[in-house]
């Protein structure tokens, strides 16, 4: 929606500033402003923009966590990832998975420095994951079945593309 489209521009700025500095942050915002995907998704009331906002927040707080080692950034990152998971599971999981592998690598290399901050990420995300699992169980009969899968069947969006191949 338009509000989260505007907030996403702020998140783009802060993430780019954290990674590459002020000049690149300004360029990133300009590119986001002229991106057709961002403009069209922000003009509609679909959940793509809101999910993108929370995933950008997750990435920003995760990078802050790595730079500072502060547990509060881990908690914020986990909460942002958890909220994105509630909005769009199919977008949040593939986005967070490589970051989780990166976190495990850091945890393996420097366990004393990163155990508590990365534990805070897990702590921040856990209530959201548990709520999603409870919601799926109550509405769909299983914590692992989303409403989309219940309504359309498993991987229905893929099977529709190959209907012409069936004899």
Instruction: With a cut of 70, list the residues of the chain below it in pLDDT.
Output: 154-167
Please tell me the predicted confidence (pLDDT) of residue 89: 92
Model pTM score? 0.88
Q: Which residue blocks in the chain are alpha helix, DSSP H?
A: 2-20, 22-34, 36-42, 48-68, 71-87, 89-109, 111-140, 147-152, 156-159
Cα–Cα distance, 65 to 77 (Å, whole number): 8
Q: What is the pLDDT of residues 136-153, one digit of tens each?
A: 999 998 898 888 888 877
Q: What integer best gives the mean pLDDT of the chain?
A: 91
């Amino acid at each position: 929606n338009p509000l989260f489209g505007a907030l996403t521009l702020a998140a783009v700025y802060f993430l780019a500033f954290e990674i590459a500095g002020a000049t690149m942050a300004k360029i990133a915002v300009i590119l986001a402003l002229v991106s057709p995907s961002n403009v069209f998704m922000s003009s509609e009331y679909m959940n793509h923009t809101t999910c993108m906002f929370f995933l950008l927040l997750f990435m920003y707080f995760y990078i802050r966590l790595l730079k500072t080692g502060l547990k509060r950034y881990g908690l914020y990152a986990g909460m942002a990832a958890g909220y994105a998971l509630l909005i769009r599971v199919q977008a949040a999981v593939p986005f967070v998975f490589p970051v989780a592998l990166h976190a495990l690598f850091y945890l393996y290399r420097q366990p004393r420095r990163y155990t508590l901050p990365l534990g805070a990420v897990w702590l921040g995300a856990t209530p959201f994951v548990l709520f999603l699992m409870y919601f799926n169980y109550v509405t769909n009969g299983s914590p692992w079945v989303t409403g989309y899968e219940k309504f359309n069947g498993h991987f229905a969006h893929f099977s529709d593309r190959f209907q012409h191949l069936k004899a």
